[in-house]
Amino acid sequence: MQPSLDSLLRASLRTFAPYKPGTSVDEVRRRFGIAQPVKLSQNENPLGTSPRALAALRAIESLGDYVEDDHLLLRERLARPYGLTIDNVVLGHGSNELLALAFLAFVEPGEEIVIADPTFSLFRKDAQVAGARAVAVPLRDGVHDLEAMLRAVTPRTKLVFVCDPNNPTGTRVERDALAAFAEALRPDVLLVLDQAYREFMDEGGADGVDVLRRRPATLVLRTASKIYGLASVRFGYGYSSPEVIGWLNRVRLPFNVARPAAVAVLAALDDDEFIARSRESNARGKAQLMAAFERLGVHAYPSAANFVAVEVPCGADDAYAALLERGVIVRSGDGLGMPGRLRVSIGTESENAAFVAALEALLPVWRGHAVGAGNRA
C-alpha cells in the first residue's frame, strides 16, 4: 500500500474545499433531456460578447510569439478616463488573480483580513491559502455594515474587502458612506474595493477610483467578464497607487495576460454601443424580475448588479433542484452563505420570463411545505 501524502499538505489547507462552479447547460441536457436550458447562474452578459472584441480576435494572425509583458497601450487606455498613468494600473488573468496577488504581497500567516458575510467566496478562500484569519462581519439588511467592519479592524488587520456591488446579494454601499469609511480606516491597511459589477451601478454608487485619489492604500478591482461579455478570455485589472502596483507586479507571473485577452479588451473598451445596450438590457430585465417578485410576494434585495438575490419559502438547495428539473439554472444561496435565497442572473426578456414562470409554478408547492421564512440578514 502506498503511504498517504497528506503529510505534505500545508496545515492551513487541510479543510480547504475546491471551488465548485455552477451547473452547466450540457449537464442539464444530459440529466433531464431538456434541449434548451435557461442559464441564469454565472452572471454572464446575456447579449454575448462585444462585436468589436470579436472582430479584433478574428484579426489576430499569429499566436506563435510571446506577447509583450507590459501591455503599455492597454494600461494607458485603462488609465486615461481617470486621468491616471500606466503606473496606476495592474493587469491580471481575471480579477481573481489580482486578489491572490494582494495576499501574496501583503499578508503574512496569522494576520487578519476583514470581509462582509456573505460576500465573494474567494476572499475567505485566499485568506485560508495564505494562513490568515478572515474576520467576517454580517451584512445589515443585505448591505455591508461599514461601521461594524471598521470596529472589526485590529492591529493584525492587513486587508479590508468591500465588494461593491456585493456578490451574492447584489447590493451596493452609498458613495458618502464608503468615502467616510475609507477616511476612517487606518492608513496602513490596504482597502480592496472589488467592483466587478461597477458598470451596472446607478448614479448613486461609488467609484472606487475616487476613493483611491484620497487614499493611496486602496486597490480597485475591475473585470472584462461582465459588461463586455469576455468571461472566457479571463481578464481583470486593478487601479492603485504606483507603490502598491509596483509590489503587485513584483509577485505576479510574467506574461499572465494572453494576447487574445489583451486584443479583445482593448477593442471592447471602445464599444460604446454594446456597453449601452448591455446596460439598457440589464435595467429592463431587472425591472421585469422585480415587478414579478412583487406580484408573487417574494422578497429580493435591491440590486445594483446584473443579478438578484431572491428569497424562497423553502431550502435554497431544494428550490435550485426543482428549478433545475424545469431547465432553469440558478445558484443556490445555501452554498453562497445566503440560506433561503437564490442568486439569479438577469437574462434576456425570454430567459427572465422562463424563470418567472417556473418560480410561479413552484411557489404554491414550496409554500405548502415551508417551515419558516428565509433569512434576510
Domain ranges of the chain: 10-48+273-369, 66-268
Over residues 82-103, mean pLDDT: 98
CB 239 within 8 A of CB 209: yes
Of the candidate ranges 180-189, 197-206, 275-284, the one whose mean pLDDT is the lowest:
197-206
Over residues 56-73, mean pLDDT: 93
Residue 372 above 50 pLDDT? no
Residue 22 above 80 pLDDT? no
CATH level 2 (architecture), domain 66-268: 3-Layer(aba) Sandwich (3.40)
Over residues 242-246, mean pLDDT: 98
pLDDT band at 18 (very low <50, low <70, confident <90, very high): confident
pLDDT, the chain, mean: 94
The grid cell for 93 is 488573468
Sign of the torsion formed by the C-alpha atoms of 274, 223, 139 and 118: positive
CA distance 225 to 196: 8
pLDDT band at 125 (very low <50, low <70, confident <90, very high): very high
With respect to CATH, is domain 10-48+273-369 assigned 3.40.50.2300? no
Question: Is beta strand 190-194 parallel, antiparallel or unpaired with respect to 218-223?
Answer: parallel
The pLDDT tens digits of the residues spanning 305-350 come to: 999 999 999 999 999 999 999 999 999 999 999 999 999 999 999 9
Q: Which regions of 147-288 does DSSP assign to beta strands (E)?
A: 157-163, 190-194, 218-223, 236-239
Spatial CA neighbour of 303 closest among 201, 178, 179 = 201
Spatial CA neighbour of 283 closest among 166, 163, 199, 222 = 199
The grid cell for 226 is 461582465
CA distance 346 to 344: 6
Helix segments in 33-69, DSSP class H: 51-58
Residue 370 above 60 pLDDT? no
pLDDT band at 377 (very low <50, low <70, confident <90, very high): very low
Residue 21 above 80 pLDDT? no
Query: What is the structure's pLDDT at 373?
Result: 43
Same fold yes or no, 10-48+273-369 and 66-268: no
Q: Which residue has the cell 492604500?
A: 217
Which DSSP string corresponds to 62-82?
---SPPPSS-HHHHHHHHGGG
The grid cell for 114 is 476583514
The grid cell for 197 is 459589477
